[in-house]
Amino acid sequence: MAFSFISPVLAESNSTIHFFWSSGCPHCSEAKSFLNDLKNDFPEIKIKDYEFSKNIDLIKELYLIYNVSSGEQGYVPVIFTPDNYFIGFNKQIGQEIERCVRECIAGEEKQETRQTVKLPIFGEVFIEDFSLPVLAIVLGTLDGFNICSLGALVLILTLILALKSRRKIIIFGSIFILTTVVVYILLVLLWHQLFVFLAPQINRMELFIGVLALVGAIYFINEFYKSFKNKNICSFGGFTQKLLQRIQKVFESKASILVLIISILLFAAIVTVIEFPCTAFFPVLFTGILAKADISFSLSLFYIAIYGLFYMLDELIIFLIAIFTMKIWIASSRSLMIINAIGALLLLALGLYYLLGIF
């Protein structure tokens, strides 16, 4: 990140690195050893180290200058180079600091290094070409083909269609979809905030994300295998099944519109929470990548909103078809199986990228 102004504390030298540490912090010791080695390689740089608790005013000033979000403040070690800041320390952070020193301080010509990953069908692909918005769209879309959530929508639409009222289809269907996406976005946001809190304390965030992606890939490959044998991708659990029976009784009792609205709202919220684990690897992986990225909370929220929009896209299509045709259309089991297989391959590729990128 670049800055349009420099504080007096930074104006003293364009080759100064400010390093804040606390006693008893193992990552601080690793960072200090790394910076000492860096100083030996680049004698022209100046490294100023500060005990965190004794330099609160200075760290607050640097937080303001570098636009450090409140969720990232208070952690050590924290290292400020002339054009960036780094919280925590691991191998990748060390490489980024050294690259900054070479390019921004030592004046060496910038060398672009682009990591690649080999994907089935697509071949070798530059991972940087897949920006966070694209990742939000791809993972959100794959996550949206959740047979558990789709099954709940189909049930609601089946009950609504029995009322033979297009107006009621629009009202009840909109409430179900809107409630589903709002609750789901809130769940994704909670995971993001958890990762933001834990990221500075996780020594190798890339390892964590890579392992998570590989576990997700294994899970979906196993689900694909089970569905291929049994032709059944997902079945509702006992508690969810009871909810389905209760919502059906509410419709059969010809309750008032208000009662139906409240019932659908509660049903959508509860089912979304209960069935979240069905495809949780997608949102959890996405929020882990967001937490690792150097972006603000508002931008992260924007990407999560994009994720949520594409998560609900398939349900929105089914809903619109029901409105105009008074019939329910849903993708075949074979199509959902193929989508799950694509999701497994994508998680596998991401897992290998993050794991191979740190070794």
Q: What is the residue extent of each domain of the chain?
A: 8-105, 118-356
Residue 77: the pLDDT is 92
101 close to 42: Cβ distance less than 8 angstroms: yes
Cα–Cα distance for residue pair 130/136, rounded to 1 Å: 10
Query: Which own/partner pairs from 39-43 qualify as long-range (CB within 8 Å, at least 24 positions apart)?
Result: 42/101, 42/105, 42/106
For the domain 8-105, what is the CATH superfamily, name and number?
Answer: Glutaredoxin (3.40.30.10)
Give the mean pLDDT of the chain: 75
Q: Is the predicted pLDDT of residue 51 greater than 90, yes or no?
A: yes
Residue 5: the pLDDT is 37
- How would you classify residue 74: left for phi > 0, otherwise alpha for psi between -120 and 50, otherwise beta? left
Between 109 and 53, the more confident residue is 53
Q: In this structure, what token pair is assigned to residue 317?
A: 């299509």
Please state the rounded mean pLDDT for residues 39-53: 88
Cα–Cα distance for residue pair 116/114, rounded to 1 Å: 6
Q: Is the predicted pLDDT of residue 21 greater than 70, yes or no?
A: yes
Please state the rounded mean pLDDT for residues 324-344: 68
Please state the rounded mean pLDDT for residues 21-35: 89
Other CB atoms closer than 10 Å to residue 106's CB: what's the count? 14
pLDDT interval class at 122 (50, 70, 90): very low
Each residue of 183-228: pLDDT tens digit? 989 988 988 888 777 766 555 666 777 777 777 778 767 767 766 6
Nearest CA among 175, 170, 151 for reference residue 330:
151
Q: Of the given ranges (181-185, 230-234, 318-322, 340-344), which has the lowest mean pLDDT?
A: 230-234
Q: Is the predicted pLDDT of residue 36 greater than 80, yes or no?
A: yes
Four-point Cα dihedral 130, 186, 176, 315, nearest 10: 10
344 close to 221: Cβ distance less than 8 angstroms: yes
Please state the rounded mean pLDDT for residues 45-53: 90
Q: pLDDT exceeding 70 applies to what percent of the chain?
A: 72
The pTM score is 0.56
